[in-house]
Amino acid sequence: MNAADSAFRVCPTTGLKVHKDADALIKANAVVATVALLVGGIAAILVLLTRWQAVHLLSDVMFYRWLTIHGMNMLIFFILFFEMAVLYFASAVLLNCRVAGPKFAWAAFVLMVAGAGLVEWTTFTGRADVLFTSYVPLRAHPAFYLGVILFAVGAIIVTTIFFSTLVIAKRERTYTGSVPLVTFGAITAAIIAAITLLHGAAIYIPTFLWSVGVMNVDPQIYRLVWWGLGHSSQQINVAAMVSIWYLLGALTAGAVVLNEKISRTAFVLYILFISMASAHHLLVDPGFGPSWKIVNTSYFMYMAVLASMLHGFTVPAGIEMGMRLRGFTEGIFGWLRRAPWGDPGFSALCLSVVVFGFVGGITGVTFGTEQINIIAHNTLRIPGHFHATVVSGTAMAFMGITYYVIPLIFRKKVAFYGMARWQPYVFAIGMLIFSLSMTFVGTFGVPRRHYDISFAGAPFGVEFSPATDLMMGLMAIGGLIAALGGGMYILITVWSVFFGAPLGADCTDKALRGSVPPGVYARPFMELPKTEVELKEHGRLGVAPGTMVLVFVFLVAFVVYYFANWKLLSDTWQIG
Amino acid sequence: MILFAMMPLWHLRGGQNPSGTRARVEPSAYVARVQQFVRDYGTGATDGGIPVVAPPAGADIYLLGAQFQWTPVLQLEQGAEYTLHLSSLDVNHGFNLFPFNVNFQVVPGYDYGLRVIPTEAGSYSILCNEFCGIGHHLMVGRVIVNPVGTASAPEASPAAAGGGQ
């Protein structure tokens, strides 16, 4: 070992050696991510209470401002700071090695915080009421674009450090064989991040120059390149989320990986096809022809969707197999009934898979169809879709892994553990009500990003169907429940990290039961049959009948929703 | 596999496609074209302070999105085919035909020409569904589709169209 051993600590629970810089970097990024989540969450409640027409809390200016704040903090700062922590974890911790260039890592962290600070300052002071997408030629203060650029540069440095750390691990032989699947998933996320951030640079640097009056930016080109950033960055989330699915599956239920090759190929599909898929934001734009739209967007997108469906099958099937291997073999769903539903890591994982797939996946593929996009573009159906994917999917998975990060990285007991057991359910049920109501209300044509759909003061009155009022009310209630779940999460994590009881040296069941998730001390993955031969034999028997049934239900729901949308479309005026 | 087939199929058989004709246009030139359109087929009346235009069947319709108004108000005939041009004076806008929920992106510098057949008579609104500034939620336009027959007289002499209210 080249590095001094004093730079490491040995994790008493898992026996992994943890580099102290990695430890500190993970903590720092996680803390900032939580702060962003708190700011974005407050913004969420304010925006929600304004769109709920019965309350209509904010003024129009404040509504659009808080909506901008909500988007930037949730979708950029919370998620990306968390993903930086995931990158350090998947490289240095999982591979037992030191972080490459810790000084650069800290510099990157400072850059990202500074960039985020500039963005917060410009938005809070009303210098950037341009919403998350900041479509040119809507104009924000140059410092807003500069902030985004600094943040992106910091993130690029972190991905570079991530790859360098992998090289170090390889060279210093801190692991044997190929990298673990979770690390492979993180590699996927990092590669997509690099592509995405280059798109970001390609658009935000010219836009910054435009904002100070040096050059011109074409609005359609902006939309094209911006979405190269905007949607690909969601694929970073998906890759990170799926990596966490595999990790949580193993930690909580002893899930096995059915077929490494399939899972890895699915990750590669993400890298290959996702940039093109970004173009589904431009399906009803004037700049592009139909063949470009169909081929470039939807067909390539289906390859990425195929990848998600593969993961959506292998993760639950892996859990089913793991449970069966550990003896829970009765019936089709015995494994599911006996699964550790009280473990917040496991419940978060399952809810994440289900809501992401059923709500986010189905709506996403349907809206990404060239013609159906006509009846979906920029309506509330779109935020309905992405709250199911990014919030109930990605954020939910991040929350689940946090309950393991607290004891394993921060070496603390999980505060209010009884509440933590409920938190994923509260959050997921809230988000489910929220995104379903949003999707339905969007079907009536209610626009997204809209201050007042009663149109008071507009030249013509517009009366939405009374059903929309009911649905908007439901949406608000669902949103508030989810916000409660988010608040619980923040309380638990902040309390655990800053005021929580440290985990003693005693790692037995007795010492830990009721204060950390059971996966930490029960370690179900240790109970699996060990030898290759044993595993292979089970693998060949390896049907996962329960998962097959679930997948069938999913496909039926998909087909019904897909064709219902073609029917809706055919009822409108003829157009095109 | 079904997903792969549906999109081209709908292009051949379906009535709703987002293809249209696409061209670049200077915002100032597009504004001039809209003014010409209002002069050609304007009824002289205004609705909500916005000029009303009753183009004949088959005409090219020019609709302008600008902060925070859709210009002009359109009177169309049920079942007739038009070419609807969309563009913007300033920033991105979103064309949302209420209550049918038909949505298109309106981008400054680009002329999006869509063939349109209003299949049902009635009064429709055009909402803006792309954030375009603080007055975004006040941006509402109007389209009135007259039932077949009622607007046949003005159709004979389009320039003198008097509106079929």
ipTM: 0.88
Q: Could you say which of B94, B109, B114 has the minimum Cβ distance to residue A219?
A: B109
Among B24, B69, B128, B129, the strongest candidate for a mutation testing the A interface, having the largest count of A CBs within 10 A, is B129
Taking the Cβ of residue A280 and every Cβ of chain B, the question of whether any pair is shorter than 8 Å is answered with no
Helix (H) or strand (E) holding B2: helix B2-13
pLDDT for res B158? 38
- List of chain B residues whose C-beta atoms are within 8 Å of the C-beta of residue A68: none
Closest alpha carbon within chain B to A462 = B125
pLDDT for res A512? 85
Torsion sign, CA atoms A45, A47, A51, A56: positive
Tell me if B1 is assigned to some domain.
no
Interface of A with B in 398-457 (CB under 8 A): 443-445, 447-453, 455, 457
- List of chain A residues whose C-beta atoms are within 8 Å of the C-beta of residue B118: 573
How far does the CA of residue B86 sit from the closest CA of chain A (Å)?
A: 9
Q: Average pLDDT, stretch B36-40?
A: 96
- How far is A396 from A392, CA to CA, in rounded Å? 5
Q: What is the CATH number of the domain that holds B81?
A: 2.60.40.420
Chain centroid to CA A396: how far?
8
Structure-token pair, residue A100: 């490459």
Residues of chain A falling short of pLDDT 50: 1-4, 540-541
User: Which burial class, exposed, middle or buried, applies to B74 when counting CB atoms under 10 A from its CB (0-12, 13-18, 19+)?
Assistant: buried
Span A507-551, pLDDT tens digits = 777 788 889 999 988 888 777 765 555 555 555 445 688 998 999
- List of chain B residues whose C-beta atoms are within 8 Å of the C-beta of residue A133: 131
Inter-chain residue contact B140 with A459, CB threshold 8 Å: yes
**Taking Cα atoms as reference points, which of A187, A307, A315, A184 lies closest to residue A248?**
A315
Among B1, B2, B3, B63, the strongest candidate for a mutation testing the A interface, having the largest count of A CBs within 10 A, is B3
Inter-chain residue contact B136 with A450, CB threshold 8 Å: yes
User: Which burial class, exposed, middle or buried, applies to A173 when counting CB atoms under 10 A from its CB (0-12, 13-18, 19+)?
Assistant: exposed
Q: Could you say which of A133, A220, A458 has the minimum Cβ distance to residue B140?
A: A458
Q: By residue range, what is the domain housing residue B116?
A: 19-152
Closest alpha carbon within chain A to B82 = A575
> For A101-231, where are the alpha helices, taking DSSP H only?
102-124, 142-171, 181-211, 219-230
* DSSP letter string, A377-392: TTBTHHHHHHIIIIII
User: Which burial class, exposed, middle or buried, applies to A535 when counting CB atoms under 10 A from its CB (0-12, 13-18, 19+)?
Assistant: middle
Tell me if B31 is assigned to some domain.
yes
The amino acid that residue A296 corresponds to is N
pLDDT for res B162? 34
Residue A487 phi/psi, 5-degree rounding, is -60, -40
pLDDT for res A339? 93
> What global pTM score does this model have?
0.91
Inter-chain residue contact B131 with A131, CB threshold 8 Å: yes
Inter-chain residue contact B138 with A566, CB threshold 8 Å: no
The amino acid that residue A200 corresponds to is G
- List of chain A residues whose C-beta atoms are within 8 Å of the C-beta of residue B136: 64, 449-451
Q: Could you say which of A447, A566, A574 has the minimum Cβ distance to residue B96?
A: A447
Inter-chain residue contact A371 with B16, CB threshold 8 Å: yes
Q: Could you say which of B18, B100, B135 has the minimum Cβ distance to residue A370?
A: B18
pLDDT for res A235? 85
- How far is A344 from A111, CA to CA, in rounded Å? 34
- List of chain B residues whose C-beta atoms are within 8 Å of the C-beta of residue A131: 131
How far does the CA of residue A574 sit from the closest CA of chain B (Å)?
A: 5
The superfamily CATH assigns to domain A278-569 is Cytochrome c oxidase-like, subunit I domain (1.20.210.10)
pLDDT for res B155? 39
How far does the CA of residue B89 sit from the closest CA of chain A (Å)?
A: 11
Among B26, B52, B101, the strongest candidate for a mutation testing the A interface, having the largest count of A CBs within 10 A, is B101
**Taking Cα atoms as reference points, which of A93, A70, A107 lies closest to residue A11?**
A93
Inter-chain residue contact B16 with A576, CB threshold 8 Å: yes
Tell me if B51 is assigned to some domain.
yes
Torsion sign, CA atoms A288, B92, A373, B118: negative
- List of chain B residues whose C-beta atoms are within 8 Å of the C-beta of residue A56: none
Torsion sign, CA atoms A204, A208, A214, A216: positive
Taking the Cβ of residue A126 and every Cβ of chain B, the question of whether any pair is shorter than 8 Å is answered with no
pLDDT for res A271? 85
Span A227-267, pLDDT tens digits = 888 888 888 899 999 999 999 999 999 898 888 889 999 99
Residue B64 phi/psi, 5-degree rounding, is -110, 130
Confidence band, pLDDT 50/70/90 cuts, at residue B62: very high
- How far is A323 from A255, CA to CA, in rounded Å? 7
Inter-chain residue contact B100 with A573, CB threshold 8 Å: yes
Taking the Cβ of residue A106 and every Cβ of chain B, the question of whether any pair is shorter than 8 Å is answered with no
Domain count for chain B, please give it.
1
- List of chain A residues whose C-beta atoms are within 8 Å of the C-beta of residue B105: 223, 282, 284-286, 377-378
Residues A428/A468, Cβ–Cβ less than 8 Å:
no
Inter-chain residue contact B107 with A220, CB threshold 8 Å: yes
Across the A:B interface, residue pairs with CB atoms under 8 Å apart total 218
Tell me if B10 is assigned to some domain.
no
Tell me if B56 is assigned to some domain.
yes
